[in-house]
Amino acid sequence: MASPVRNIVIVGGGTAGWLTAGVIAARHQNRMGRDLTVTLVESPNVPIVGVGEGTWPTLRTTLSRMGVSETDFFRECDASFKQGARFARWTTGAAGDSYYHPLMLPQNFGQVNLAPHWLAQEDDESFCDAVCSQGRICDDGLAPKTIATAEYDALANYAYHLDAGKFASFLQRHCCQKLGVRHVLADVETVSMKDDGDIRAVWTIQAGEIAGDLFVDCSGFKALLIERAMQVPFKDCSDTLFCDTALAMQVPYECPDSPIASHTISTAQSAGWIWDIGIQTRRGIGHVYSSNHISHDAAEQELRAYIGPAADGLTARKIAIRSGHRETFWKGNCVAVGLAAGFLEPLEASAIVLVELSAKIIAEQMPACREVMDIVAARFNATTRYRWGRIIDFLKLHYVLTQRTDSAFWRDNVRSETIPDRLKDLLLLWCYQSPGLLDEFDRVEEVFPAASYQYVLYGMGFKTQVNAHDLSYDRHLASRARRENAAMTAKLRAGLPRHRDLIDKIVAHGLQPV
C-alpha cells in the first residue's frame, strides 16, 4: 500500500513560510480541504528577521499565480518598484565610480550579443546605456509602467521593494482567507521521529501534536527541523564571501513627497557595502560588513556617515550573517526553505527568489506518496545546490573585479584561494569571449543569465578580447539593436511617470486588474 502525501506542515512564518504556503495552496487549490491540507505553525513569540526588502521580477508571477491583487500589495506592504541595482564605488572607490545591473535584458539579446560591438567602439557610453533603457529610466527617477498598464504588466521589467514585516502579514491574510491554509500559533517544543528517520509530528506547547506527511522547515536561522531533528550539516561559505554582519536602520523621508529611487543603491565601504532601499514611507538602509576587517563601532560610524543627520537618534539593529547553506536541503520528509536552508549577504536580493523557486518545485513536483518522495528530493537537492553555487559565484564576481586596494578587505577578496574554481574558469574564458546565451547558462530557470554577468563585468571595466570575425558576422544586427535601444530609451523617458507619482496613483485609484 502506498503512503499518500496529504498533510503538509510548514514550521515557521515570515516571508518564507507564507510564500511557500501560498504557492503550494494555490497550485493545489482543487485539492485543498478534500485530500490535501496545508498547515502553517508559527510561534507567537518569535519576530521575523524582516530586512529582506528587495525582490526579483519572479515575484510578479508568483503573486499573480497566488491570486494576489497588485494594487492591494502596494497599498498594504508600502511597496515600490525596483528596476535593478546601482553599484557605487565598487571598482575604484572614486566618487564617480558607479554602474547599473538593470532588470531588462540587452536589446535583442536573443538575436545578437552586443558586448563585443560595445567593446570595439571604446566610447564614453556605459555598457548599460548602450544596450538597455533602464539605467536612464532610473537616473530620471521614473517608474517602469503607467497607471494605465495592467497589474503585473510592464513597460520596463521590474521587481519590488517592500516592507518585509507588512508583506508577511499580508501573505498570511491572503493564504488563510483565500487559499484555505490553516494557521496555528504555537511554539514547537519537540519533534517526534519515526523509526525510518522521517518526522512523524511536531509537538507544540499551545496546540499539542501536529502530524504531517511532508514537513517544510521555514523556522529561520534556528532550523528546528532540518538541523536539530534531521541533523543536516551546514556548509560554511565565509572563505569566499567575507561579510558576516549587518547593521540596519529605517530612515524616514525628509518630506512626504520626497523622490523614491526605483532601484537598490549599493555603495561599497572600507570592509563591506551599504544598501539603500526606498519604499513608500521610508528608506531601509544597512551596512553589510566583515567583522574580521572592521570593528562594530567603525562599521556603524560608516553607516551613520552615509545617512547623515537623518541617522541622529536612530538605533542600528545588528544582524549576524552565517554565510552558507545546507549540504542537503531535502532529507527524508523534511525540506528546508528560506533562512533554514541558508543565507548569503543580500547583495543581489537572492533570499526571496530562492524561497519562490524552492516553493515552486515543491508545489509542482509534490510527491503523490512517500514511496516516490526520495526521487523528488534528489531532483530538488541537485537543482537547489546548483542555484546556491551560482549565486555564490555571482556575488563573488562583484568583489574579484574590484581595482580597490585601499583596505585589507578588498585586497583579500581578490586572493585566488578565495575564488570558486568555476568562476576562475569563466573569468579566463571571458578574457577571450563575452558571456553569451549558451555560455554555461543553459538551465531553464538560471538564477543569473549571461546578461547579468555582462552588466557586472563591463560595468566594472572588465576587458574581453574582441574578435574581428565575430564583429563582421552580425554587425548589421548589432547596429539595428543599438538604434532600437536608443529609440526605446527616448520613448520610455518621455512617457513614463515619476516613480512616487505612480505609486501615489496606485494607492489612490488602483491599477487595472488583469
Per-position DSSP letters for 15-34, written without gaps between them: HHHHHHHHHHHHHTTTTBTT
Does residue 222 carry a catalytic annotation?
no
Helical axes 58-65 vs 70-77, angle rounded to 10°: 110
Residues in contact with 417: Cβ distance below 8 Å, sequence separation at least 6, in sequence order: none
Annotated binding site for 7-chloro-L-tryptophan: 82
Q: Are 430 and 403 in contact (CB under 8 A)?
A: no
Supply the DSSP string of 125-165, one letter for each residue: S-HHHHH-SHHHHHHTTB-SS-TTSPTT--SS--EEE--HH
Amino acid at 119: L
Q: In what order do the strands lie in the sheet with 264-268?
A: 98-102, 84-88, 264-268, 272-278, 282-289, 245-252, 317-320
DSSP assignment string, 446-511: -SS-HHHHHHHHHHTT---PPPHHHHHHTHHHHHHHHHHHHHHHHHHHHHPPBHHHHHHHHHHH-P
Cell of 175: 493564504
CA distance linking residue 226 with residue 217, whole number of Å: 6
438, 439, 442, 443: CA torsion to nearest 10 = -150
Instruction: Find the catalytic residue in 82, 145, 331, 360.
Output: 82
**What residues are designated binding site for FAD?**
13-16, 188, 339, 352
Binding residues for L-tryptophan: 348
Looking at the annotation, which residues are catalytic? Answer: 82
